[in-house]
Chains A and B, each alone.
Chain A
Amino acid sequence: MDIDAHLPLSPRDLLILATLAEGPSHGYGLIKAVEERSESGVLLDPANLYRVLRRMRRDGWIEETETPHDADGRRRTYAITGPGRRLVQAELARLARLLGQARPALARGGDTP
């Protein structure tokens, strides 16, 4: 599978996959995680979340897993797949390269963020 064709990932997609890379989660867990990680407290609304989850599942980045114990019968749990993990790694590597290229340029301008 050609992972590079799917890069770059949108920040939101990256955040979702990165969260799942740490362990399976249900949708609401993802919403909370994205909210915590994005510093501006961005709210990921349920409709957008599930739309993205459906696409990721179709593309094979994530899958549904057996729900360990769910108080609310309406929720399903999602886990990252092997290709999904590789995709996150590829995107992180791309971003790291990008940062490496950008930093010296900023330093020369004498204006550090």
Chain B
Amino acid sequence: MISLLSRVYGLGLHLLPRGLREEFGDEMRADFEALLHDAPGLPRRVARAVRCLAALPGVALAERLSAVRSRAGAHPRDEALPHATMTTTRRIPTMDALSKDLRYALRSLGRARGFTLSAVLLLSLGIGAVTASFTVVDQVLLRPLPYPNQERLAYMTNGSHPGPVLRELDGIEGFEAVAMWTGSWSNLTRTDGEPLRLLRYRVNAPFWSLFGARPAHGRLLVAADGDTPNRAVLAHGTWQRVFGADPGVVGRTVNLDGQPVEVVGVVSADFQSPQSLTGGEPDLYLPMDWADPQLDEANIHRHTVVPLLARGVSIEVADRQIDALGDRLRERFPEGFVDRDGNPERWPLVPLSEQATAQVSGGLWLLLGAVGLLLLVACVNVAHLVLARALGRDREMAVRRALGASAGALARQLLLEKLVLGMLGGAGGLLLAWGALAGFRTWTTLLPRGASLALDLRVAAFALATAALTAVVFGMIPAVRAMRRDPRAGLHASGRGSTAGRRVQALRGGLVVVEVALSLVMVALAGVLTRSFLSVTTQDPGIVADRVVALPLNLSENASPAEWNRHVEELRRSVGELPGVEAATYALELPFQFTGGQRCCWGTRIGLPGEPEGDAVRASVHAVHEDFFDVFGVHMIAGSPFSRMGADVAPTRAVLSESAAVRLYGSAEAAVGREFSWGSRVSEVVGVMADTRHYGMDQDHGEAVYVHTMALPFAIPEAALAVRLAPGSTLDGGALREAVWRVDPNQPIPDVTPVSTWVDASSSLRRFASLLAATFGAVALLLAAGGLYGTLLHAVRERRRELGIRMALGASAARLQGAVVARGLVLAGLGALVGTGVAWYASRLLEPLVWGVTPRDPLALGASAAGLLATAIAASWIPARRAANTSPLETLGAE
């Protein structure tokens, strides 16, 4: 603690003139440490440190002042400590003097209410925004994952992986251990309550130690449990929610998907599952079932793989070992492990921490950048305000100097005033940040670890320091001016355009240019993101989602595809008879059910029969009920959908997506009636449908094959009903419950989700980003306009006399007005020029975030610049009117 503070003090000493610091710096530091050391208790220590630190700027200023004065040949004696009394008696400033200064500062801020309010609001805005967004970035992106050896945990990309890969992973030398899991929904049936839908993960034995899990009760799963896959470990939340936190549940047998499963343990409450980073939070865990025949299929991709790299093994080395494994597997499974273009499939590793935040990291860094710009703009505006106020106080300063106040005293006074301002702004900023974080927490589904976001005070302190420093630096200008000047000058001149005034005008002009440039960058950014968002949402999803609701089901009790089909068909009929239902259908998975890059569930390679394997096209297979095309309003380009009759007789009839038909046969029309092969099967094309954006509005549609669910080669524990409702009607909860349970009493009542919310959700992150950027852009624009307005107004006020004279000499009002607007436009134009350049250069950072437009969208850039200039003209208008309304008699008479 002391050494840290001492280091800070050492840094602070750099404020002092070099001579003093070099001769006495070491002693000062030694004494500072001794002072802290002798202070009893932490609060006193900190209080002492703060007082010593706070004294530094005053000493620095006084030293420099006395240097200036002795050069000027004034009295060689130094100023003593700066203090606020106006008498010549010098004394150590006591709390009394300090509180007097404070009272004075508050009074003077209170007098300039408009100034104080604007400055505090600006500071709050900047501090609040930076604090909130850096907190998010820090806690979501920068904090290490809560696992032992988290820096060596990797994620095997390219989605989920099939059994043959999983079985070989233990042989990879670069891996110390490998965790793998697959999730699916299960039905928990109970004698004392409704059936529940639980997310169940099958995990392998190393999973537990890799992620540092500990049991709260009972034990975790071990390798030997793999022989008896019907054992379960409960997540802590499930144990509390479903089993009433009863420790006696360990050893009990529950009914899961019609199977008895023994509960062997409960995971401790502090365990954060890795699934919550990349998928859904598990309700319970079962051991991997290595005897599952699906694990022998090369085309069933279900498992997430997270290896722990051996010490000293880099990701590149491990990648090469995985590539070698891929080559071996391709020899064994000639039709698997190649991508849609026939190239060998690769599964490069990425650090798990990166994967967990991959979806949001680009956006979050962008957010931080935008907010940083906002803080800058806010600081520039505060500088404006403070500077404008400072110039108005030359006279006050001169009077007080003449009355005997030392320059040091005035400096301290001004410093205190700005510090009070900073404190108020800081308080407002914290409030704002706290509110913003509460808002972020509601987006938890979008942000990994979002639920645990908490205000970071270190960040708040940083933002506060930045803003307060701005206020102080620019606030000290009047003190410097007062010091340099003969007090009499300030009393005589009533703020006419002196040279110093002109210099300050130039400084303010420069600030406006910076501000305009920064806000242009932000507006352009918002423009590009909004264009990208619009281009996503204006895509044709390929389906008509209005009035269609989805009901995901669990079908884990079916042994064969025939049973599966019978089961879903019965549910479909029962639900289809409900009042208000126009049509009902089902599918293995529905459009927009799995978005954001996660692809479920079935992929294959299609080709013309008899042609070489290398020409095959990778396609996703969608198993659907025959009414699927009707319920989702899919547009058939050629042919017609298949019917249920003979759907399970070879050759299977199939509907191709347009892109798949064009790829295989050259056109949609040419495809109908032709055959294609996929894996060991051959199918006949009965129809071609328009492409749909099955996996999200911002995903390429890719080639797709639709077959009847009767053609499923095995039973899959999932399905989803889709129901089209009559206009204005809804599904009644009670009736739905009855309709489902009449067929299947073990079926949990499904969540009813309008498919349109899935469609919207697939672009919600983009909407969020463009909304955020637009808000920031608008605020920045407003601030820039305010800065320009203030500067011009001030210039007009300063030049009142000149304008009056020009008017008296016959200049027209329109001409004066034009001159002011022209000055505004020159400043804005310069800023726009710089800003466009910066935006042009910075736009490549947007590359990964935009879709459907180029990041250097000329329309967005041009529109931003035009909007900015229009705002500039508007902001110049009032000052220009004021100039035009100058009355020559009044202004000249006023002096």
Contacts and interface: CB of A to CB of B under 8 A. Distances in A.
A31 B31 contact: yes
Interface string A25-42: 011100110000010101
Interface string B88-99: 011110110000
Contacts of B92: 10-12, 38, 42, 44
Interface in B70-100: 77-78, 80-81, 89-92, 94-95
The 6 closest A-B pairs by CB, nearest first: A10-B90, A50-B24, A46-B28, A46-B31, A45-B55, A45-B52
A47 B56 contact: yes
Interface string A49-60: 111111100000
B35 interface: yes
A40 B96 CA distance: 11
B691 interface: no
A54 B24 contact: yes
A33 B276 CA distance: 62
A49 B80 contact: no
Nearest to A76: B27
Interface SS of chain A:
helix
Contacts of B16: 47
Contacts of A72: 30
A51 B59 CA distance: 8
Given A43-B52, A75-B27, 6 more contacts: A8-B89, A12-B91, A47-B13, A47-B28, A54-B24, A72-B30
A91 interface: no
A4 B643 CA distance: 116
A63 interface: no
A88 to B, nearest CB: 16
A108 interface: no
A48 B94 contact: no
A62 to B, nearest CB: 14
Contact of A45 (B26, B51, B62): B51
Contact of A51 (B20, B26, B29, B30): B20
A65 B51 CA distance: 30
Interface residues of B, number: 33
Given A28-B31, A48-B59, A54 B23 contact: yes
A75 B16 CA distance: 19
A47 B29 CA distance: 9
30 contacts: A8-B89, A11-B91, A11-B92, A12-B81, A12-B91, A12-B92, A13-B80, A31-B35, A40-B95, A42-B92, A43-B35, A43-B52, A44-B92, A46-B29, A46-B32, A47-B28, A48-B59, A48-B81, A50-B20, A50-B23, A50-B24, A50-B28, A51-B20, A51-B62, A52-B80, A53-B24, A54-B23, A74-B26, A74-B27, A75-B30
Contacts of A12: 80-81, 90-92
Contacts of B38: 32
Contacts of B91: 10-12
Chain A interface size, under 10 / 10 to 19 / 20 to 34 / 35 or more: 20 to 34
Nearest to B93: A42
B269 interface: no
Interface string B1-35: 00000000000010010001001101111111011
A54 B89 CA distance: 21
B658 interface: no
Among A31, A38, A51, the one with the most B-chain Cβ atoms within 10 Å of its Cβ is: A51
Contacts of A54: 20, 23-24
Nearest to B23: A54
A15 B89 CA distance: 15
Among A10, A12, A48, the one with the most B-chain Cβ atoms within 10 Å of its Cβ is: A48
Contact of A40 (B51, B90, B94): B94
Contacts of A28: 30-31, 34-35
Contacts of A76: 27
B515 interface: no
A63 to B, nearest CB: 15
A43 B28 contact: no
Nearest to B28: A46
A47 B59 contact: yes
A27 B55 contact: no
A6 B28 CA distance: 26
A93 to B, nearest CB: 18
A47 B31 CA distance: 10
Contacts of A49: 28, 31
Contacts of A53: 24
B417 interface: no
B63 interface: yes
A24 to B, nearest CB: 15
Interface in B92-119: 92, 94-95
B51 A43 contact: yes
Contact of A47 (B48, B52, B78, B90): B52
B532 to A, nearest CB: 55
A31 to B, nearest CB: 6
A43 B48 contact: yes
Nearest to A5: B77
A60 to B, nearest CB: 13
Contacts of B32: 46
